[in-house]
Chains A and B, each alone.
Chain A
Amino acid sequence: MNIIICIKQVPETTEVRINPETNTLIREGVKSIINPFDMYAIEEGMRLKEKFGGKTTVITMGPPQAEAALREAISMGIDEAILLSDRAFAGSDTWATSYTLSCAIKKISQFDVIICGKQASDGDTAQVGPGIAAHLDLPQVTYVKKIEEITDKKMRLERLMEEGFEIIETPLPVLLTVVKEINEPRLPSLKGMIRAKQAKIIAWDASDIQAEPSSIGLNGSPTQVVKIFTPAPRKSGQIFQGDTQGVVEKIAELLKKDILS
């Protein structure tokens, strides 16, 4: 079984600072980690390989420093790592990012399962996984909480809903995005860390993956970040006391004024 896992390197803290001029994250001085949901994707990929044999490949699109995230994945036991890095990828929104990743996956060509984390802790859009499936015209299942079984080019899995879960059967190949209920990610092993340090990371740029220049980076991004701001803190509410009928009438009046004015 050939398993591809897409990961992203993100800043460690949730208290990110935003550069008000460029509306982008200030990444300097902040430690980088593998996006937490992607750790579950890596672990699930490892478990599939342990059960069915085959190969695990991890890909990331990012600046050269994203190599550290790939090496960390290797230290957990991943077989191969690919870094997609090119100045032309800069400024990508989720559409351009998923397009770029899908070009790389097309180049890899042999795959049975693509696994992504539910969402990235910095962007929080949860769009890249589904975007990749759209670009590759693949079935996709999001919020996967358990892979029940795989038989004969079909996968049966549980998809987490707000109340309970769905059981879904899908043909292979398929793209999954996973939630943290799916597993407990393993720690790296010493042998893995040594291997990771010595591993050769495959690096591809835009031409290596035959990406259309108009579809990548800022050019390929239909959405633009116009403004990022911290919303003003909510004002404290008001407490109305008295008999129920009287209080309800008072609140109804206030709401009418608020909504209709």
Chain B
Amino acid sequence: MDYLLSDEQKMIKELAHKIAEEKIRPVAAKYDRSEEYPWDIIKIIAEADLFGLFIPEEYGGLSVNVLNLCLATEELSRACGGIAVCYAASALGTFPIVLFGNEEQKKKYLPDLAKGKKVAAFAITEPEAGSDASAIKTTAKKEGDYYILNGLKHFITNGGDAQVYILIAMTDKTKGARGASAFIIEKGTPGFTFGKKEDKFGIRASSTCELIFTDCKIPKENLLSKEGMGFIVTMKTFDMSRPGVAAQALGIAQGALELAVKYAKERNQFGKSISSFQGIQWMLADMATEIEAARALVYSTARMVDAGIKDVAKESAMAKMFASDVAMKVAVDSLQIFGGYGYMRDYPIEKYVRDAKITQIYEGTNQIQRNIIALQLIKEMAK
């Protein structure tokens, strides 16, 4: 389908596609097995200026454009969802600074993030606070010109490898949801250490890690916006980044479909290519249509965000929920088309199933997304 992309958007897609095919696809299986952080690919993505797609020009980026970010993420994900998320999660960790940072903070952090010299991460989740984000226990106590951080975050994407972290911590427990604040903190700060690196089912090229804060002292200048703004920073950031996760899911789905079509053409049984069987054709038709529907939803949502429309929570949730459900279904169906070979790790398709699953869970489970959509719908209809 022609989405009437601009010349610049076509360039972004073309360049990300080239990186995916020439640089990522040949090493995807290697990183999936070794779980090493793909710094060499990050360097290539940075040199291509793709980190500039979520950073304003005056700080070394190109411009903040969610559709552009989605186009790049989708193409990279076609080759490997794990490597692509290292890039997309840096966007997640950068948006809070772009949206809420003051001039000093933007000047200090954004140029290195634009060049891909540093990578970012977003840290809110805790062992007792996943979907129930307001149950976070990490504290930030103001003492003079500093905040003292204590607590534990876990399941943080890019954790351990990123240099810049956005941390959501409680500054005032008595205020409930309005008692959380957002901070910028750098790797290497005394009192900030990393715990366990998770052994994951999928997206194994990306690192997922615990962050441990033990009387960690940070200057008050590291507070983003004002005290109490923590959850607003989070919600606004997710509104921008959800289309990105949806784009990752879309890319995984597209990559899986392409592998399935190619395999179906090559595989012969009963004297002919299995792509000539109606059963296979109907599966492929359904998969392709679902992907296109997901793509239309993701691109439309991204365009809404870029147009500055403030109320995008419902659409963002729809895009993420639908695209990730499609990715999981398409990946599993693609594996089915591969038959017995699909089950073997020598063949690339099983990785797509493993990578797709997380897109239904992180950045707000699909159950939470449904809550968001329903509540918004009811609010709108009540008028």
Contacts of A190 in B (CB 8 A): 11-12, 15, 48-50, 52-53, 62
Question: In angstroms, how far is the closest chain B Cβ from the Cβ of A246?
Answer: 47
Q: Does B311 reach chain A (CB closer than 8 Å)? A: no
Q: Does B266 reach chain A (CB closer than 8 Å)? A: no
Contacts of A191 in B (CB 8 A): 49, 52, 62
Residue from the set A190, A191, A193 with the largest chain B CB neighbour count within 10 Å = A190
Known: A193-B11, A193-B15, A194-B8. A187 touches B49 (CB 8 A): no
Q: Does A188 reach chain B (CB closer than 8 Å)? A: yes
Contacts of B8 in A (CB 8 A): 194
- Per the CB 8 Å criterion, the residue count for chain A at the interface is 10
- Per the CB 8 Å criterion, the residue count for chain B at the interface is 17
Chain B residue, CB-CB nearest to A190: B49
Q: Are A194 and B11 in contact (CB under 8 A)?
A: yes
Known: A193-B11, A194-B8, A197-B7. A187 touches B62 (CB 8 A): no
Q: Does A189 reach chain B (CB closer than 8 Å)? A: yes
Question: In angstroms, how far is the closest chain B Cβ from the Cβ of A37?
Answer: 17
Q: Are A189 and B47 in contact (CB under 8 A)?
A: yes
Q: Does A107 reach chain B (CB closer than 8 Å)? A: no
Query: Once A and B bind, how many residue pairs between them come within 8 Å at the CB atom?
Result: 35
Question: In angstroms, how far is the closest chain A Cβ from the Cβ of B141?
Answer: 43
A-contacting residues, B246-262, CB 8 Å = none
Q: Are A187 and B7 in contact (CB under 8 A)?
A: no
Contacts of A17 in B (CB 8 A): none
Q: Does B173 reach chain A (CB closer than 8 Å)? A: no
Binary contact track B29-55/A, C-beta < 8 Å → 1, others 0: 000000000000000100111101100
> What separation, in Å, do the CA atoms of A194 and B19 have in the docked complex?
17
Binary contact track A169-196/B, C-beta < 8 Å → 1, others 0: 0000000000000000011111111100
Contacts of A193 in B (CB 8 A): 11, 15
Contacts of A187 in B (CB 8 A): 15, 18-19, 22-23, 44, 47-48
Question: In angstroms, how far is the closest chain A Cβ from the Cβ of B250?
Answer: 21
> What separation, in Å, do the CA atoms of A191 and B53 have in the docked complex?
11
> What separation, in Å, do the CA atoms of A192 and B18 have in the docked complex?
15
Contacts of B22 in A (CB 8 A): 187
Question: In angstroms, how far is the closest chain A Cβ from the Cβ of B333?
Answer: 32
Question: In angstroms, how far is the closest chain B Cβ from the Cβ of A133?
Answer: 33
A-contacting residues, B1-29, CB 8 Å = 7-8, 11-12, 15, 18-19, 22-23
Chain A residue, CB-CB nearest to B23: A187
> What separation, in Å, do the CA atoms of A194 and B8 have in the docked complex?
7
> What separation, in Å, do the CA atoms of A193 and B7 have in the docked complex?
10
Q: Are B48 and A188 in contact (CB under 8 A)?
A: yes
Q: Are A188 and B7 in contact (CB under 8 A)?
A: no
Contacts of B50 in A (CB 8 A): 190
Chain B residue, CB-CB nearest to A196: B11
> What separation, in Å, do the CA atoms of A49 and B8 have in the docked complex?
27
> What separation, in Å, do the CA atoms of A191 and B47 have in the docked complex?
10
> What separation, in Å, do the CA atoms of A138 and B23 have in the docked complex?
38
Chain A residue, CB-CB nearest to B44: A187
Contacts of A189 in B (CB 8 A): 15, 47-49
Contacts of B18 in A (CB 8 A): 187-188
> What separation, in Å, do the CA atoms of A192 and B62 have in the docked complex?
12
Contacts of A186 in B (CB 8 A): 47
Binary contact track A122-156/B, C-beta < 8 Å → 1, others 0: 00000000000000000000000000000000000
Chain A residue, CB-CB nearest to B52: A190
> What separation, in Å, do the CA atoms of A193 and B19 have in the docked complex?
14
> What separation, in Å, do the CA atoms of A193 and B11 have in the docked complex?
7
A-B contact pairs, 14 of them (CB 8 A): A188-B15, A188-B18, A189-B47, A189-B48, A190-B11, A190-B12, A190-B15, A190-B48, A190-B49, A190-B50, A192-B49, A193-B15, A194-B11, A197-B11
Question: Which B residues fall within an 8 A CB radius of A?
Answer: 7-8, 11-12, 15, 18-19, 22-23, 44, 47-50, 52-53, 62
Q: A188-B18, A189-B15, A190-B62 are in contact. List 6 more A-B contacts (CB 8 A).
A: A186-B47, A187-B23, A187-B44, A188-B48, A190-B52, A192-B49
Question: Which A residues fall within an 8 A CB radius of B?
Answer: 186-194, 197
10 pairs of A and B residues whose beta carbons are closest in the complex: A190-B49, A189-B49, A193-B11, A191-B49, A189-B48, A187-B48, A190-B15, A187-B18, A189-B47, A190-B48
